[in-house]
């Protein structure tokens, strides 16, 4: 099964009421790590790609401006019960993050937590949203990817059929996501579930010549 926006809208309508109470707590160490790596400064602008129920914003420092993009109106509707937290309001944009929905070169940082394995075309999502970064901008990714080297095992492909039904894939490679983007990996750490998930810190690099 291929992930589509239509499926994601449907499956994340089902996830929305239970996401914060079930799977979300597992992801906390990865979220904390990505936000530490970004080392945000007061006044900086942060783009949250696939912001979901806004699990990341409460972890951000207070004096940053946060814009969150998500396809699912149901996921975007959830945070109203847990926010506002002081100094941590989020400007929410509903739309498809495979297109750049914000002004080019207007953000200091971008967060791609648990979106690249969900959105139909992770590479396009990455490429488009990295264009939102200023020339010195940085980005973080927390997600699960297949190893960049070697083939995808039959077992992984089999399990992927089920994980895709639940709204996420396990056969994507981070190297593929990054191809054609104006960014390079500065740091990579293994994360939760015995290293099934990873955390990446990226630095924008316009000289790489991607779009």
Q: How far is the CB of 96 from ligand SAM (least distance, A)?
A: 4
Identify which of residues 15 and 138 has a Cβ nearer to ligand SAM in the complex: 15
Starting at the edge strand that comes first in sequence, how are the strands of the sheet with 183-190 ordered? 90-94, 65-70, 45-49, 107-113, 133-144, 197-204, 183-190
> For residue 87, with 0-12 CB atoms within 10 Å meaning exposed, 13-18 middle and 19 or more buried, which class applies?
exposed
Residue 173, SS3 per DSSP: strand
> According to the binding rule CB under 6 A, does residue 38 interact with ligand SAM?
no
Q: Which of 66, 98, 129, 160 binds ligand SAM (CB under 6 A)?
A: 98
Q: How far is the CB of 185 from ligand SAM (least distance, A)?
A: 20
> According to the binding rule CB under 6 A, does residue 160 interact with ligand SAM?
no
Stretch that binds ligand SAM, among 39-47, 51-59, 85-93, 144-152 (CB under 6 A): 51-59
> According to the binding rule CB under 6 A, does residue 177 interact with ligand SAM?
no
Residue pair 205/183 in contact by the 8 Å Cβ criterion: yes
Identify which of residues 124 and 186 has a Cβ nearer to ligand SAM in the complex: 124
Identify which of residues 5 and 171 has a Cβ nearer to ligand SAM in the complex: 5
Q: Which of 97, 116, 146, 170 binds ligand SAM (CB under 6 A)?
A: 97
> According to the binding rule CB under 6 A, does residue 77 interact with ligand SAM?
no
Dihedral sign, Cα of residue 68, residue 69, residue 71, residue 73: positive
Distances from the Cα of 72 to the Cαs of 88, 96, 165, in angstroms? 21, 9, 16
Q: Which of 64, 71, 141, 146 binds ligand SAM (CB under 6 A)?
A: 71
Dihedral sign, Cα of residue 41, residue 47, residue 49, residue 55: positive
- 187: its two tokens: 């740091």
Q: Which of 114, 133, 141, 204 binds ligand SAM (CB under 6 A)?
A: 114
Residue pair 133/54 in contact by the 8 Å Cβ criterion: no
Stretch that binds ligand SAM, among 38-46, 107-115, 169-177, 190-198 (CB under 6 A): 107-115
Q: Which of 34, 66, 72, 205 binds ligand SAM (CB under 6 A)?
A: 72
């Amino acid at each position: 099964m291929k992930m589509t926006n239509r499926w994601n809208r449907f499956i994340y309508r089902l996830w929305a009421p239970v996401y914060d109470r079930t799977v979300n707590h597992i992801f906390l160490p990865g979220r904390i790590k990505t936000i530490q790596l970004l080392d945000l400064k007061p006044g900086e602008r942060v783009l949250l790609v696939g912001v979901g129920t806004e699990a990341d914003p409460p972890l951000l420092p207070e004096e940053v401006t946060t814009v969150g993009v998500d396809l699912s109106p149901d996921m975007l509707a959830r945070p109203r019960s847990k926010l506002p937290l002081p100094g941590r309001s989020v400007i929410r944009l509903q739309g498809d993050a495979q297109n750049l929905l914000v002004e080019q070169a207007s953000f200091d940082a971008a967060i791609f937590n648990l979106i690249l394995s969900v959105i139909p075309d992770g590479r396009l999502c990455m490429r488009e949203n990295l264009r939102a970064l200023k020339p010195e901008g940085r980005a973080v990714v927390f997600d699960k990817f297949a190893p960049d080297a070697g083939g995808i095992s039959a077992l992984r492909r089999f399990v992927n059929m089920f994980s895709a039904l639940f709204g996420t894939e396990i056969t994507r490679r981070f190297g593929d996501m990054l191809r054609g983007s104006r960014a390079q990996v500065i740091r990579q750490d293994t994360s939760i579930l015995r290293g099934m998930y990873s955390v990446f810190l990226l630095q924008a690099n316009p000289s790489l010549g991607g779009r």
